[in-house]
Amino acid sequence: DAGVTQSPTHLIKTRGQHVTLRCSPISGHKSVSWYQQVLGQGPQFIFQYYEKEERGRGNFPDRFSARQFPNYSSELNVNALLLGDSALYLCASSPGGVRGETQYFGPGTRLLVL
Give the binding site for other proteins (CB under 8 A): 4, 31, 33, 35, 39-45, 47-48, 50, 55-56, 58, 90, 92, 94, 97-108
- Residue with smaller CB distance to other proteins, 64 or 105: 105
CB of 23 to other proteins, least distance (A): 11
Residue (62 or 99) nearer to other proteins, CB: 99
Angle at 41 between CA 38 and CA 43, to 5 degrees: 75
Least distance to other proteins, CB of residue 96, Å: 9
Tell me, what DSSP letter sits at residue 85?
G
Question: Could you tell me the smallest distance in angstroms from the CB atom of residue 110 to other proteins?
Answer: 8
Q: Which is nearer to other proteins, 3 or 80 (CB)?
A: 3
The two most distant CA atoms of the chain are separated, in Å, by 39
Please state, in angstroms and rounded to a whole number, the distance separating the CA atoms of residues 56 and 69: 17
- CB-CB contact of 82 with 113 (8 Å): yes
DSSP 80: S
